[in-house]
Amino acid sequence: MKSNQVRAALAFALAGTLTACAVPVPEFTPPPEETQVFPVLDESRLDRVLASVNDTLAEADADADKEELTPRVSGRAAQMRSWEYSLAKATKEAEVEDPYTPQPLATDPAVAIIAATDEWPRQVMVITDPPEDGNIPLLLALQQESPRDQYSLQSWTRLLPGVTTPQTDATATGSQQLAPDSEGLALTPEETVKAYTDVLNKGNDSEHAKKFAEDEYRSLLNEEKKALSESLEVAGKVTQETKPAGPTYALSTFDGGAIVLSGMTTEQEYEKTVQQAKMKVGSLVAAKNDGDSEVESTLTAVYEHMVAFYVPAEDSEDKIDVLGAERVLSSVKRPEE
């Protein structure tokens, strides 16, 4: 065998040997991602947050000063409280026989519903023990916008008499925080408040009427509108329209449903149609109208609401329940405005 042939044979044999003996390089397997998320607050931290919110409310209420609500009361909750301060001042200046007083707010927790998430914003809901000077529990919604922000009260409602609040996940595991457009429910959270306003506006003619259980808040609003219309029909008419307003908060319940808090705005218009007649509004509306109770042509009273719902899972036969609500007269608009 020629030398070149020998070298080729040896090279081939060596290559085969190296190939046969090669040790495979191990592939890198990343560690599994952490999928468990934990409640955003424990009991002791929640107690401190609520105590701070309570102190802030007490100081701001004592001075009726909306600027003192920051930073522990913000968003729609701060707006509602400032409208209450304004209404209280207006009724006092108008020397109303029964001036408006902001309703007491308590933060002592009876039940905590804490989101389990590793993202921001982070939400917590609390059902409170009734305040000392009241007998109605509240449903509070608090939120932390970012890691550098404090938890602040964003919304509250007074629970309606006789309502049963749904069971939620234990605070040790936390509840799922839901986006306003989260599906898997009878209606998404943002669709819920929109549908409810449609029911308020159209009654049983609303396409959503059968999705909601009867509730005391709707009954009270309807009775008020009926009484106003009947008392003023000799001079004119009263019409109103309600629309969604403000952000929506939602946490899951144990059965796959959700507790949803959101806001609404109602514009209640008084229109005088009989020129010889007199049309007068109630004392609260008159107080916000610079003490003037008479309607010359039209007048619009603007009411702001906060409302809480239980929204069942989409495969449930249950209806949507209204759990609680709050309302305040925020302003009065004249025709030129």
What is the model's pLDDT at position 47? 97
Alpha-carbon distance values, 104 to 71, 125, 157, 285, 326 (Å): 19, 18, 12, 22, 12
Alpha-carbon distance values, 212 to 195, 225, 244, 321 (Å): 9, 20, 16, 6
- Rounded Cα distance between 145 and 139, Å, is 20
What is the model's pLDDT at position 170? 87
User: Would 9 be classed as within a structural domain?
Assistant: no
User: Would 205 be classed as within a structural domain?
Assistant: yes
What is the model's pLDDT at position 261? 98
What is the model's pLDDT at position 168? 93
User: Would 4 be classed as within a structural domain?
Assistant: no
pLDDT per residue as tens digits for the range 111-152: 999 999 999 999 999 999 987 777 799 999 999 999 999 999
Which residues are CB-contacts of 54 (< 8 A; sequence separation ≥ 6)? Answer: 106, 107
User: Would 316 be classed as within a structural domain?
Assistant: yes
**H helix runs in the chain, sequence order:** 3-21, 43-63, 75-93, 189-202, 216-232, 283-288
**Residue 212 per-residue DSSP state:** B
Angle at 167 between CA 162 and CA 173, to 5 degrees: 150
User: Would 234 be classed as within a structural domain?
Assistant: yes
Q: What's the sign of the alpha-carbon dihedral 144, 149, 151, 157? A: negative
Write the DSSP assignment of 218-245 as a string of letters: HHHHHHHHHHHHHHHTTTEEEEEEEEEE
Q: Which domain covers residue 151, as residue numbers?
A: 43-333
Burial of 85 (0-12, 13-18, 19+ CB in 10 A): buried
What is the model's pLDDT at position 57? 97
Are β-strands 298-311 and 258-272 bridged in parallel, bridged antiparallel, or unpaired? antiparallel
Q: Which amino acid, residue 324?
A: G
Q: What are φ and ψ of residue 53, in 5° steps? A: -60, -45
- Rounded Cα distance between 201 and 238, Å, is 13
Chain CA centroid to CA 72, Å? 16
User: Would 32 be classed as within a structural domain?
Assistant: no
What total number of domains does the chain contain? Answer: 1
pLDDT per residue as tens digits for the range 285-337: 999 999 999 999 999 999 999 999 999 999 999 999 999 999 999 999 988 75
- CB–CB of 176/116 below 8 Å? yes
User: Would 14 be classed as within a structural domain?
Assistant: no
User: Would 256 be classed as within a structural domain?
Assistant: yes
- CB–CB of 174/115 below 8 Å? yes
Q: Taking the model in full, what pTM does it have? A: 0.88
- Rounded Cα distance between 107 and 57, Å, is 10
Candidates 133, 183, 137, 182; CA nearest to 164 is 137
**Rg, Å, the chain Cα set:** 30
Alpha carbon dihedral 41, 44, 47, 49, in 10-degree steps, equals: -50
What is the model's pLDDT at position 135? 78
pLDDT under 70: residue ranges of the chain: 1-35, 337
* Total Cβ atoms within 10 A of residue 111: 15
